[in-house]
Structure 1
């Protein structure tokens, strides 16, 4: 597939998927979107948490919300540094901070929890711990820059809108593979409370990866919630109310 600058690469381009910082109380939550997505993906949950008195921040990760070629120029460290910078801003404004992420954002949240042990707790939404066929991205990227998604239709059927690319930037996908490897390496060292959400209908990642991650985590307080009616983007899918309420409950429980 060739890239033409005039092509509409972003699904729902009219939505505002930029970084945001919504002030609230002394407890803050960092939410990180997934691979090829934007902050539109985390906004419904962020709005719910903010309306319940929490400060919420979310960065638009480098290379996202632009075009796939720009994404292919980014490195996993660029994404991590962006999330870490937002975390530092949140820590200046709040006494207690939680981190959460969708899919690839979940892997970044895990690495932040490993790097900053004073993070109070971790919320993982369909973490991309195992992705079938992701290993192919490394050698495919030697021949093609982008690859069409096979699951874009699902992202248009969720109750809340999704914004992002309808294609996979392959060089960037190989960086996602490196994030997976780091998450697997450091998961046993994570000691903060962790709450994992995983959709039963997920066709984007291997849903059982959530179970493998749950077993690997070193945390004494960890819980895995299976969402019967959700696919991959559990933050905006049919079990949103359950996701939102349990997320808030987890934050309140571990804020003391």
Structure 2
């Protein structure tokens, strides 16, 4: 039997990954776990939350899966991708999927474009129709500076372990991502030494890749990657 752990991103929650989670639940008999990291979810409470608690929560979920299931898949989105990579390096899981993973960079150019679109829609009275604004408006004023520093600490820690990831890995990245620009996928590809790596770019996707225009293609691609048998020379010892 297969256990699949899905880890959401910073200031997000399981809702960011629902289309993918639902697709896998409909097409497989895997046990799928999608924990909510401390301080996250629909109502943010990030004051005095330490980054280690985010890692520990995901790690505890992984340990429970490993106790019950022979094969383990890890899927991580954004910050959750870095946590997933860290856990894959530590526990040598069977498959790893990294979605818009917050490995290193921020795209100030794309952020400027997105802010410009929000301002334009505000002026023309269409702000309520702006998907980016609708998603992030609830976070305005809810994310303390200390939490952002904890996020940076997490990325700094987990980045050191990319060189130990041996699991077959799929790296998916949106080319319109304003938080994690597409060149981060090249960085992950370079740092991760796994023998089997697939890097895929989605032209129409922003950071919320699982909720974007390419979500149906992404869902199928992730499913096919995880379903594909591992070659004998890719089996982990």
- Matched residue, 2:222: 247
Structure 2 distance, partners of 1:40, 1:163, is: 16
Does the alignment pair 1:132 with 2:106?
yes
Tell me how far 1:188 sits from its aligned partner: 1.2
In the superposition, the TM-score normalised over structure 1's length comes to 0.75
Residue of 75, 88, 92 corresponding to 1:100: 75
8 A Cα contact 1:214 1:224, kept in partner: yes
> Residues 152, 71 of structure 1: CA spacing in aligned structure 2 closer, same or farther, 3 A cutoff?
farther
8 A Cα contact 1:27 1:255, kept in partner: no
Deviations 1:98-136 (A, max 9, x none): 11111000010011111111x1111010001124399xx
Q: Which moved more, 1:174-183 or 1:35-44?
A: 174-183
Tell me how far 1:207 sits from its aligned partner: 2.3
- Matched residue, 2:160: 185
> Residues 81, 226 of structure 1: CA spacing in aligned structure 2 closer, same or farther, 3 A cutoff?
same
Structure-to-structure mapping, 1:149-164, within 5 angstroms = 157=131
Does the alignment pair 1:112 with 2:87?
yes
**Greater per-residue strand proportion:** 1
Residue of 25, 47, 50 corresponding to 1:75: 50
Structure 1 distance, partners of 2:58, 2:175, is: 28
Residue of 218, 227, 230 corresponding to 2:193: 218
8 A Cα contact 1:197 1:224, kept in partner: yes
> Residues 195, 80 of structure 1: CA spacing in aligned structure 2 closer, same or farther, 3 A cutoff?
same
- Matched residue, 1:165: 139
> Residues 166, 151 of structure 1: CA spacing in aligned structure 2 closer, same or farther, 3 A cutoff?
farther
Tell me how far 1:152 sits from its aligned partner: 11
The DSSP-based 3-state class of the residue aligned with 1:60 is coil
In the superposition, the TM-score normalised over structure 2's length comes to 0.81
Tell me how far 1:66 sits from its aligned partner: 6.7
Structure 1 distance, partners of 2:115, 2:51, is: 24
> Residues 217, 36 of structure 1: CA spacing in aligned structure 2 closer, same or farther, 3 A cutoff?
same
- Matched residue, 1:123: 97
Does the alignment pair 1:85 with 2:67?
no
> Residues 245, 252 of structure 1: CA spacing in aligned structure 2 closer, same or farther, 3 A cutoff?
same
> Residues 133, 208 of structure 1: CA spacing in aligned structure 2 closer, same or farther, 3 A cutoff?
closer
Tell me how far 1:209 sits from its aligned partner: 1.2
- Matched residue, 2:37: 61
Residue of 15, 23, 29 corresponding to 1:40: 15
> Residues 183, 95 of structure 1: CA spacing in aligned structure 2 closer, same or farther, 3 A cutoff?
same
Tell me how far 1:30 sits from its aligned partner: 0.6
Q: Which runs of 5+ in 1 are unaligned?
A: 1-25, 135-148
Q: Which runs of 5+ in 2 are unaligned?
A: 109-113, 119-126, 232-237
